[in-house]
Structure 1
């Protein structure tokens, strides 16, 4: 008895159960790797909850793996459950995973997550691509018949109209006939490996028939049924299997998710709506009414007003749409249209939530502890239970207070896993306190992480041992100094005291040999940040202090020469290095470099900034940044900063260099906008310089200035615009002849002269004509009156 199915199809699953109940076979053969036969009894464990997957990986190369996912609505899972419930033998009969993984991927079906692509039309109009037919033949048949949902097509055309209630085998006979026609037209669809797989399956069927007689049921993809029905000699089948490569593999059950079922898997076809299919399979009756109730509950939980009347109207609309479209029952398309129109008021925004939470779903399966697992996986599972960090498919955010023992242990575990390449958690920006004692993580468990755990098992049998070995190996093989310092920081975060000495030794060696100031500047911040974690985490960071101080001294000595003769891109990069070193120096605190009279790290750094601020060979963006940092640190008086800006913005300086200086001084998200708002002398200097830039140089400096000022917040830009609109206040005789402090600021009222200067250009842009009038236009005004009239016109025209 051959039962051809669509993998992950609820209609196929119900039909398989009905056929097995009617036939009562003595053995059930299922498409899947035969090495998993010993794992079949685990499917009856009370702690086993689909979706799950069979994971096969090469023993010596865990990253080389394959999955066979199963959901509660998968026909294969239903067949396994029926066999276990009735005490019937269940076996897998597909090509062994030992051969599949040994052959590599060049001739295999698309693996998990790989997209086979849409059906093409290489054979003529309306002719689907052969590969698409092979990947999901039922979907091609449904599309040919004008249906967008293969499962709904199966129910409408096969189950509802083939007398399935009277003859449970009728749907499979109809489907076999359709598959036979497709196989005649497309052969194997370009997948020659199918011939080998089908030869192995035929051999396994013969073996089962010799053992159990004719009471054999085979559950496999519908595509294979015609080939399994075809009579072939044993010798021919064995010839196809001769010489196949073989690898040593291990198999186990791993949790899976509905979201991953929507991707192409080891069974070929993925499904776009696993949550919807699960509902169809589990709903005992009135599936549309129950579905609309689920949708209403979800939307109510999101504070949307959905009443019982909405549910009733949505059910009626879905039924009406099904009748208009000639379908026996509403499908996903009809229910979605009804939900959009009635419950979402035509909006696709809440509909996306319904699709994500219900149509696809975030269900994560579970496997029992007795399932085979690598030692690292067992240690991780114990840590998860001890720390109450349950893996979940739905992304969630957690806040950790490192002053608490449990939260600190959670943080350590997550950092160790990240170091091992197991990205269960990702650090996120905290919305509350920004202290170093608090961390925010986003957690989401993906099925692929089971493979990452298996891969990481080569480093050790526990998370701590594996992370330590991995860190030591990464330190030795790191190509850049900055990567070693980042690794030192990660070792502290992950609590790896045994790995830290190795990392520090490599760090000291690399720092001594690296003469590139840029590399040293990149390495210093991560190293200095690591010093902060000794307080909260209780980690001994004394070994880092000496290396950090020596690294900082090398940066101080080499930075001024390294800033000479740089082009624009190199100057921007160096400005970033200066900012990074400045932040690192602030964290270093009072650690002393050199002799006691040198002022410590801060004093040495301020001296370096003073050199950068006045050296002509240093690019303007770096000089401006140095002045700004000294001003913020209180090491430079505001009058001196204004004097330096005045020198840079003098007519003797190239406009491009002056614009770069301004970018360094008030650009880069450094709060320069607020500085200009509160210090009108500096704004007046910038304003006076900008109005005096020659026309031929203005187009060159404009992009840099736009980049500088566009980074300011809207309110800051508005305030600066109001100040500039008023213009500088007239200077008194005392301010001109005395030793005042420079530009006095901006006037309280609008400078009409400055405003009139832009009127001709605005009038031209808005099509208002010449604002000053001409001799041929006696009605045109001149002077202030004309300017006033034009300003009034602009006020009426401008938005």
Structure 2
């Protein structure tokens, strides 16, 4: 790897060039052995020189790889780049060796100031983004860049994959398998620490003589800068210079070039002011599937090879067995022994020096997973890739917003984790309420650490469920959000106010008001409310008003649980509802099918909103529920209103108890009469019993309605049946499988004569004109056993002593939460 003097075999005259594969455990072990043998006076590493002051942090107790160097433009934090390092990365090993032996370590790659500015002004015609973001496993990049809007997409097809080319020349169809065979499974013996680097340099030299720069145009600039830094280090240090860089660069660094020529290459490069720090990284972001071009397919496996050089296959199988046992699969020591034997046999059959990931995976599938890929997918996700999240010491540089976020995370005991997990919050608890506010504030700032999920077992407003996963890119989002303020609260408040002014529609503003209440931003709410009142006064589109009302009304529920004052919303919401009541009937006339379906969704949303708003009266607006029911009656009776809207209006009145079942049946009978066009009748049915509104169960339990639908459907003319079939299919396909099966059984049995005309009823067990009190009372003892007694009702209904017990404690949340047994 070195240029020796004329005597041959003397001390190297040039730098010690150690060409590596980034994130390669074999390269990392070889680098450590070479540095121990050479004992250089300085270690130069491929990376941004601005990070030199951060190198000492790698020795601190709180530093746990995988980590990454993060560079971002000071004036544009979203423009950023990462330099990830794992515990088995050769660069990390070189840094730790230098710190342990008191040897200076420096980065020599192109400065991040140029890397971030490279595509900023060039646009599509400029140099383009860093070519190292393309999949080049033989020379994994120095940086994984987050390109800016002016960056051109790299053409990966025109670039050379060094490992792929060498593997193909060696007769391998898989570069990863070739690398494992020639490097990872062949340890360097005593006295030949430089032999792997010599062989790899010879191969890369031949490859570059054939392919030139392999389509990596920026490499010429990077290599010129590296040569200048190497020369400067050689002048400064007399004990020798060791360079740890991608093997692809070694031939270019070995090539003689004048200082003037290298400086000419670097002249005129654009640059931006940058900040750098260490940030946690994850194994998943080291994988190539994450979009990081220098990644590896199996960071967990490579980490295992680095940490367990002794008997790696046996140790790996033991870890797999432990994981599967934790998932309640039966795996015994005999399985481990047999899997190790099978992996060794497969390696021998395939001509490999040791079992690799392919052999161990095949053995695990056959022996421990019984041929199934389902548990094998778990092994791949948890062990082959892994959920490791690195740690960075608190002394690392950070923007003020990041420091405030870290302080809040510690106070709320909400630690970032790489693995996805669900977090159940009870907002009546102070800590959980603080966690909820933090997650909502971060979402306002564009830091999507948590995503809301459906709560299991409760629909109360005092419960929230979040799905959390910390991704390394969120560090960039936090730095980017730092322009709004130095604390999470101040930044979220400023961002909410700015978003309210910039909102395009009324629904956006109402949604923002809801998010301000969820996030606990009392200072932002007045500004949002002013914008909301102005937009609501000027917007005349009933669809916009109907779309905006639900979010506004939902916000009124949060006052009791979250301790926020939502009174200012009641007046605006009531006024908005009044305008919807006035404008909705004329807006529903003359709509086509798509517009009618959209209006039906607005109708459902407004109905739910009025149901909540009726419990929060606003002065001067009277009984909103009664006003809304009058609007529904108007819509149900107008022939100009589309059938889907009329049918839904009837259904909403029926559900609220404002329309008798006999009247609903009469209205359905009129619509399904022969004088109504089949398409209009089908649309009415869709509005009445369609969607997820429980219409299927309504037909199951009301024989008159089912009889009317059946009689109408069997009487649809053949020429019109094809036209109404899509509407009917959309209506009934939304029902659950059990409901569809029950309806089919009822129709198969056919109509009976009891209860009136044959078309009006189905004579099947379970249907009767009136409630069967005896059958209903039969379930009361079981209900009391489940829910507990209430006063003396148990004795009144003949419940035995077994049903007696203490009166249960109950608590209430808000109007939409029923009492629950404590």
TM-score by length of 2: 0.86
Match of 2:127 among 104, 107, 113: 107
Map residues 68-467 of structure 1 onto 2, 5 A cutoff: 68-104=83-119, 107=127, 136-147=161-172, 150=175, 153-158=178-183, 164-213=189-238, 215-263=240-288, 268-467=293-492
Cα offsets for 1:24-73 (capped at 9, x unmatched): 00000000000000000000001000000000000010000000000000
Please give the alpha-carbon distance, in whole angstroms, between the structure 2 residues aligned to 1:32 and 1:303: 45
1:23 counterpart residue number: 38
- In the alignment, structure 1 residue 693 sits paired with structure 2 residue 713: no
Equivalent-residue separation in structure 1 for 2:138 and 2:585 (angstroms): 58
Inter-CA distance 8–116: structure 2 relative to 1 (3 Å threshold): closer
Residues 468-477 or 696-705, more deviating: 696-705
* Distance change >3 Å, CA 115–CA 426, structure 1 → 2: farther
Q: Counterparts of 1:71 and 1:219 in 2: how far apart (Å)?
A: 15
For the structure 1 residues 148 and 294, does the alpha-carbon distance in structure 2 shift closer, same or farther, using more than 3 Å as the test?
A: farther
Tell me the CA shift for residue 628 of structure 1: 0.2
Distance (Å, rounded) in 2 between the aligned partners of 1:27 and 1:413: 45
* Partner SS, residue 329 of structure 1: coil
Tell me, in whole angstroms, the C-alpha distance in 1 between the residues paired with 2:53 and 2:736. 64
Residues 249 and 684 (structure 1 numbering): CA distance in 2 closer, same or farther, change over 3 Å? same
Task: Choose the corresponding residue for 2:762, options 742, 746, 757.
Answer: 746
Range with greater deviation from structure 2 (138-147 or 280-289):
138-147
Task: Tell me if the contact between 1:322 and 1:334 (Cα under 8 Å) persists in the aligned partners.
Answer: yes
Q: Given the alignment of the two structures, is residue 552 of structure 1 paired with residue 577 of structure 2, yes or no? A: yes
Give the secondary structure class of the aligned counterpart of 2:466.
strand
Alpha-carbon distance in 2 for matches of 1:299, 1:426: 29
Residue 163 of structure 1, CA deviation = 5.6
**C-alpha contact 2:133 2:294 (8 A) present in aligned 1:** no
Contact 1:69 1:267 in 2 (8 A): no
Displacement, 1:191? Answer: 1.7
Q: 1:133 to 1:83 in 2, by over 3 A?
A: farther
Partners of 1:723 and 1:157 in 2: CA distance = 71
CA–CA distance in 2 between the matches of 1:70 and 1:535?
Answer: 48
In 2: Cα distance, 1:347 partner to 1:78 partner = 38
In 2, Cα distance between the equivalents of 1:350 and 1:410? 34
Gapped runs of 5+ residues in structure 1? 120-128, 737-741, 750-799
SS at match of 2:256: coil
Alpha carbons 1:9, 1:73 under 8 Å: kept: yes
> How many residues matched?
731
Give the structure 2 partner of residue 536 of structure 1: 561
Cα deviation for residue 108 of structure 1 reads 5.1
Q: CA deviation at 1:553?
A: 0.3
Deviations 1:305-351 (A, max 9, x none): 00000000000000011111111111001000100010001100000
Provide, for residues 350-386 of structure 1, a one-character-per-residue CA deviation record: whole Å limited to 9, x for no partner.
Answer: 0000000000011000000000000000000000000
1:640 aligns with 2:663: yes
Do the aligned residues in 2 keep the contact of 1:136 with 1:268 (CA within 8 Å)? Answer: no
Q: Please, which of 25, 49, 54 is the counterpart of residue 34 of structure 1?
A: 49
Matches of 1:167 and 1:469, distance apart in 2: 62
- In structure 2, the CA distance between the partners of 1:185 and 1:114, relative to structure 1 (3 Å rule), is closer
- 1:654 corresponds to 2:654: no
- CA shift for structure 1 position 466: 0.2
> How far apart, in 2, do the equivalents of 1:130 and 1:576 lie?
46
Partner of 1:664: 687
Q: 1:58 maps to which residue?
A: 73
Q: Partners in 1 of 2:492 and 2:445 — Cα distance?
A: 6
2:88/2:306 contact within 8 Å kept: yes
Partner of 2:146: none
The equivalent of 1:607 in structure 2 is 630
Contact 2:421 2:468 in 1 (8 A): yes
Q: Secondary structure at the match of 1:519?
A: helix
Whether the 8 Å CA contact 2:138–2:248 is kept in 1: the answer is no
RMSD across aligned C-alpha pairs, in angstroms? 2.2
Structure 2 distance, partners of 1:118, 1:329, is 22
CA distance in 2, matches of 1:289, 1:94: 40
Contact 2:135 2:161 in 1 (8 A): no
Q: Could you say what secondary structure the match of 2:78 adopts?
A: strand
SS for the counterpart of 2:354 is coil
Could you tell me which residue of structure 1 aligns to residue 502 of structure 2?
477
**Do structure 1's residue 507 and structure 2's residue 532 form an aligned pair?**
yes
More deviation, 187-196/338-347: 187-196
1:630 match: 653
Task: Work out the CA distance in 2 between the residues paired with 1:73 and 1:50.
Answer: 9
Q: Which moved more, 1:517-526 or 1:161-170?
A: 161-170
**Which 5+ residue runs of structure 2 have no aligned equivalent?**
1-15, 121-125, 140-153, 766-822
Report the equivalent of 1:762. none
Q: Structure 1 pair 198/438, CA: closer, same or farther in 2 (3 Å)?
A: same
